[in-house]
C-alpha cells in the first residue's frame, strides 16, 4: 500500500508540475503537503522502529525557517550539519507515549530518496506494548494544510491514521 501511495503521489506531483507555469513560486508548484510515517513495534527488541518520509523541499524550508540557516539535505559536505538540524526538528515534533510514560527516542539519521527525505528513529524498549499515543506535528509550523499519515505495525496488526493540521495526536492499540 505504501508503494502504491508513493506512486500515486509522485504521479500527481509530476502531472501538476507539468501543468504549472514555470514562473510560479515553489509553494504553487507543490500544491499538497504530506508526510508518511511507518512505525513498527519490534517484539524481539520491544522498540518502536520509526521511518518518517517528508518531501525534501518542504522539509528544507521548515528547517531553514526554524533555525535561520541555509539548508541543503542533499549535500554530502553539509550532511553532518544537517543531521543536527534534522534531529532537533524531528525530536521536537514527534513523540510516543505509552499509558505509563513518554518513550525516549534515539535519532538514527536521515537519507535522501528521490524527492523525499527519510528520517529514522528508534524508541527505548517498551516490553508488551499494547497502546501508544503518538504526537506528530511535522511541518505544522510551515503549512496549515499539512497531513501526516501514520502506519502502525505490531503484534500481528496493521493500522493507519491520517492527522490533518491542526490535529497532532492519535492513540493506537496494537
Q: Give residue-wise pLDDT tens across range 48-92.
A: 999 999 999 999 999 999 999 999 999 999 999 999 999 999 999
| Over residues 106-135, mean pLDDT | 96
Give the span between the Cα atoms of 97 and 1, in whole angstroms. Answer: 26
- pTM value is 0.82
- CA-nearest of 72, 53, 67, 59 to 140 is 59
β-sheet with 34-42: strand ranges across: 105-113, 116-123, 47-55, 34-42, 147-154, 157-164
Sign of the Cα torsion 43, 47, 51, 52 reads positive
DSSP character for 102?
Answer: B
DSSP character for 100?
Answer: S
Amino acid at each position: 500500500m505504501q508503494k502504491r501511495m508513493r506512486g500515486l503521489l509522485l504521479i500527481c506531483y509530476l502531472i501538476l508540475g507539468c501543468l504549472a507555469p514555470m514562473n510560479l513560486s515553489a509553494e504553487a508548484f507543490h500544491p499538497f503537503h504530506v508526510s508518511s510515517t511507518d512505525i513498527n513495534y519490534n517484539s524481539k527488541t520491544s522498540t518502536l522502529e520509526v521511518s518518517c518520509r517528508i518531501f525534501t523541499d518542504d522539509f528544507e524550508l521548515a528547517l531553514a525557517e526554524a533555525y535561520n540557516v541555509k539548508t541543503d539535505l542533499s549535500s554530502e559536505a553539509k550532511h553532518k550539519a544537517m543531521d543536527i538540524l534534522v534531529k532537533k526538528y524531528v525530536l521536537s515534533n514527534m513523540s510516543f507515549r505509552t499509558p505509563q510514560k513518554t518513550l525516549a527516542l534515539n535519532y538514527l539519521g536521515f537519507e535522501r530518496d528521490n524527492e523525499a527525505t527519510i528520517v529514522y528513529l528508534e524508541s527505548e524498549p517498551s516490553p508488551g506494548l499494547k497502546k501508544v499515543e503518538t504526537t506528530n506535528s511535522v511541518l505544522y509550523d510551515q503549512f496549515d494544510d499539512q497531513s501526516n499519515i501514520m502506519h502502525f505495525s505490531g503484534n500481528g496488526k496493521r493500522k493507519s491514521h491520517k492527522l490533518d493540521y491542526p490535529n497532532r495526536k492519535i492513540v493506537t492499540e496494537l
